[in-house]
Structure 1
Amino acid sequence: MPPIRALALFLLAGTAVPLHAQDAPRVDRKAAALHQSILTLDSHLDTPASLDLPGWSILDEHEVHDDYTQVDLPRMKAGGLDGGLWAIYTPQGPLTPEGYQQSRNFAVMRGLSIHKMVAASPGDFALATKAADAAPIAKAGKRVVYLSMENAYPLGEDLSLIDLFQKMDVRVIGFTHFAHNQFGDSSTDPSKAPKWGGLSPLGKQLLAEMNRRGIVPDLSHSADSTLDDALALSTAPLILTHSGCKAIYDHPRNVDDARLKALAAKGGVIQMNAYGGYLRALKPNPERDAALRALREAMPRGEMTAAQRAEMLAKRREIDAKYPADEASFEDFLAHLFHALKLVGPDHVGIGLDWDGGGGTRGMQDIRALPRITEALVKAGYSEADIEKIWSGNMLRVLKAAEDAAAK
């Protein structure tokens, strides 16, 4: 199973990024100042996939219409993003000893890449392992780096491996990704049929072990039945690191109102996603899909050289110009955000936009546009205290609750 690179993620997802991205609309001066003054954390950054790209540096400013990346240090500063959960993402592979071993090795190396990023720039980044770490790191002018794992597949069937990843400072683990695995059912398995009817027996053991260790369970990508089991069994609050509202768009990746209320009742939080295909129905574009599929099939196996990457990016830009994609808008994202806020209140909603993993909308194409969210919340009448809860307080509260539950 070849490593998934940031470019490959965009090719696979068919992410809609215009060839010439427009500057984000101007934001009210007071809202922009508020945004820069509060602690802002995004709970799902797929940016670690960029760290191993040839010639790419997190310290340099990149353009989304150039290389399709959305997060780097200069843009974090410009967009007022203090940090968040940096994901160790592993694609779902076969449920075999060989598949588990390959994914475990890949996940370890991806985690090391995150640690290397921090070690190489200690004046710019700092690891956070507890909820209380975020504020002092941000106050010192550094970016906050919590580690999460998207897809528990690399753990195989040996739950003792969770010890390895906890020692690598992983604080949040998601059970599934696009397909069912050994721990539970996914919301988007190609079979469209359940495998376990929720968490598997091993998945229930994993949940108990995460509770014991103070690791937050992430139920984004999980089937409704898997979320139900976790709500019933977890001794600590749950997080949906990047999800949306089924009441706004009925997609399997989104969560219905009854489950959102149950999540809130247990102290959990939904972090709002900005993946266009989950915000609203997008118009089919078979010519674009075919071109992207051909480009994906032409990608070199294994790691690309800088020259190969430049060639693939040029071809991708040609596809975008020839077959423009339908894009969800910033207003589509706000519809999900404000529905969740009205339903469960500002104590149970946060931000997890899926940057560098397919997230972003027209009008919010990279993190430089993040102050727009704060401006929209101000205009909707939310207080500064509520806005800070949405941007970081709720996620940190869930992290702290997991720590406290484990201590008991």
Structure 2
Amino acid sequence: MTSSSYEAEARELLAEFPVVDGHNDLPWAMREKARYDLDAVDVAGDRTGELHTDIPRLRKGGVGAQFWSVYVPSDLGPEENAVAATLEQIDFVGQLLARYPKDLAPACTADEMEAARAEGRIASLMGAEGGQSIANSLGTLRALYALGVRYMTLTHNHNLRWADSATDEPRVGGLSAFGREVVREMNRLGMLVDLSHVAATTMHAALEVAEAPVVFSHSSSRAVCDHPRNIPDDVLALLPANGGVAMATFVPKFVLPDAVAWTQAADENLRAHGLHHLDTTPAAMRLHEQFEAAHPRPVATSATVADHLDHMREVAGVDHVGIGGDFDGTAFTPSDLSDVAGYPNLLAELRARGWSRADLAKLTWQNAVRTLRSAEDAARGLQAGRGPSLATIEQLDGPPQA
């Protein structure tokens, strides 16, 4: 078959089994670019060159469900409040859904995802990226769940008092006693435990405690690209017993070995100019362009991501893989996965490698929906046996260490 034939097959499949993407940072990008003003940046039109995401390109890419990240940085300054910032992010998602109801459908359950698909709308769920969003409070965790948040990444780029991050120095050896209680309470609620961004020790600790399937909302294979943000094989091998799903990300520095060192240097260039290394504002992008002109950037492609998915399928099985692009949360993307319209290119690449239609349907839609449904089922059983946890971090872990 020709490449165009594979792409035609991909588009046909996406019409029936659209992509559930595990992680998109449009809310934070809108905060940075327009202070959430959808009049200033209306995503009903093509925003190519400004954002990775808008409704026309979501449609073109065959997206049927999106977990919108209600991210806040893990290194907020003392004048900022992570809980308040998370609530602002949740509020923006509400504005987004209210403004574009013909295209975006609010969803909190697997049944609501299926209903949105049947209506031809994009199911819109929320995931909180980092336990800083609950400020060491299980009551706050429950409040986020009540507001519609359906996964929480246990950490972002920095450790918490109760959990170790993949990109920080080890502190508690995975999860503290309170961290394990957070996982148990998330399971009781039906909120997916997201293990992207966490240390391998934290992954193992969470899987030991978990009474429901976990998710990696945007992580690829460490065996293919040795970056701490990726998933080791010994963890991938635990997913079948747990029932969870690992959603491969597209971020070049996580999927292309040659891009790791280059990105570190580009990030340092931003910091040298007083900017955060995750900044994607026009000023930051101009600095990146200048840096790239002097230091050509290694470029990932859909084939690079497919290498990860091939390996993840081999280790975890086809029932435990998915997609989490991290669009609008990264400065760089693969050449043919440059925005949310690019998913058919990835599916065409996988089809050319021998992935069956049934395999691709699991990758795009079925695995993610099954995982959320299983978490809901587990929560009903757990709620029958226990009520909300009233534990505090001081009770379980003691006072903060200096």
> Which residue is equivalent to 2:328?
356
Amino acid at match of 2:126: L
CA distance in structure 1 between the partners assigned to 2:265 and 2:161 by the alignment: 36
What TM-score do the two structures reach when normalised by structure 2?
0.85
> Which residue is equivalent to 1:374?
347
Contact 1:211 1:236 in 2 (8 A): yes
> Which residue is equivalent to 2:75?
93
Q: 1:154 to 1:261 in 2, by over 3 A?
A: same
CA distance in structure 1 between the partners assigned to 2:106 and 2:228 by the alignment: 34
> Which residue is equivalent to 1:262?
238
Residue 22 of structure 2 aligns to a residue whose secondary structure is strand
Q: 1:50 to 1:194 in 2, by over 3 A?
A: closer
CA distance in structure 2 between the partners assigned to 1:311 and 1:357 by the alignment: 16
Residue 160 of structure 1 aligns to a residue whose secondary structure is helix
Does residue 77 in structure 1 map to residue 59 in structure 2? yes
Contact 2:174 2:205 in 1 (8 A): yes
CA distance in structure 1 between the partners assigned to 2:270 and 2:6 by the alignment: 35
CA distance in structure 2 between the partners assigned to 1:215 and 1:80 by the alignment: 26
Contact 2:45 2:55 in 1 (8 A): yes
Contact 1:35 1:374 in 2 (8 A): no
For residues 360-399 of structure 1, give each alpha carbon's deviation from its aligned partner in whole angstroms, at most 9, with x where no partner exists.
2122111222101221232233332221111121111111
Q: CA deviation at 1:315?
A: 5.7
Contact 1:216 1:239 in 2 (8 A): yes
Contact 1:60 1:73 in 2 (8 A): yes
Residue 113 of structure 1 aligns to a residue whose secondary structure is helix
Does residue 134 in structure 1 map to residue 113 in structure 2? yes
Contact 1:212 1:405 in 2 (8 A): yes
For residues 267-293 of structure 1, give each alpha carbon's deviation from its aligned partner in whole angstroms, at most 9, with x where no partner exists.
111111111111122354587556533
For residues 58-102 of structure 1, give each alpha carbon's deviation from its aligned partner in whole angstroms, at most 9, with x where no partner exists.
212122xx22x21110101111112321111111137x9x57x70
Q: CA deviation at 1:317?
A: 4.6
Return the match for 1:342 from 287, 296, 314. 314
CA distance in structure 2 between the partners assigned to 1:266 and 1:152 by the alignment: 22
Q: 1:107 to 1:25 in 2, by over 3 A?
A: farther
> Which residue is equivalent to 1:383?
356
Residue 341 of structure 2 aligns to a residue whose secondary structure is helix
> Which residue is equivalent to 2:253?
277
> Which residue is equivalent to 2:400?
none
Contact 1:51 1:57 in 2 (8 A): no
Contact 1:176 1:183 in 2 (8 A): no
Return the match for 1:119 from 58, 78, 98. 98
CA distance in structure 1 between the partners assigned to 2:246 and 2:265 by the alignment: 35
For residues 25-63 of structure 1, give each alpha carbon's deviation from its aligned partner in whole angstroms, at most 9, with x where no partner exists.
896323322223323210011111233332222212122
Does residue 219 in structure 1 map to residue 195 in structure 2? yes
CA distance in structure 2 between the partners assigned to 1:30 and 1:44 by the alignment: 25
> Which residue is equivalent to 2:44?
59
Amino acid at match of 1:253: R
Return the match for 1:229 from 202, 205, 217. 205
For residues 113-148 of structure 1, give each alpha carbon's deviation from its aligned partner in whole angstroms, at most 9, with x where no partner exists.
001100112112111010111122122122110111
Does residue 331 in structure 1 map to residue 303 in structure 2? yes
CA distance in structure 2 between the partners assigned to 1:122 and 1:287 by the alignment: 42
Return the match for 2:137 from 158, 172, 182. 158
Q: 1:50 to 1:26 in 2, by over 3 A?
A: farther
For residues 163-189 of structure 1, give each alpha carbon's deviation from its aligned partner in whole angstroms, at most 9, with x where no partner exists.
221121001111001111123001111
Residue 278 of structure 1 aligns to a residue whose secondary structure is helix
Contact 1:185 1:199 in 2 (8 A): yes
Residue 163 of structure 2 aligns to a residue whose secondary structure is coil
For residues 237-260 of structure 1, give each alpha carbon's deviation from its aligned partner in whole angstroms, at most 9, with x where no partner exists.
111111111111222111221211
> Which residue is equivalent to 2:11?
32
Q: Percent identity?
A: 28
What TM-score do the two structures reach when normalised by structure 1?
0.83
CA distance in structure 2 between the partners assigned to 1:241 and 1:312 by the alignment: 26
Contact 1:288 1:325 in 2 (8 A): no
Contact 2:7 2:347 in 1 (8 A): no
Residue 107 of structure 1 aligns to a residue whose secondary structure is helix
Return the match for 2:270 from 288, 292, 295. 292
> Which residue is equivalent to 1:103?
82
Q: 1:380 to 1:298 in 2, by over 3 A?
A: closer
CA distance in structure 1 between the partners assigned to 2:283 and 2:217 by the alignment: 33
Residue 312 of structure 2 aligns to a residue whose secondary structure is helix
Q: 1:368 to 1:230 in 2, by over 3 A?
A: same
> Which residue is equivalent to 2:27?
48
Residue 162 of structure 2 aligns to a residue whose secondary structure is coil
Determine which structure has greater relative contact order: mean sequence separation of CA pairs < 8 Å that are 6+ residues apart, divided by chain length: 1
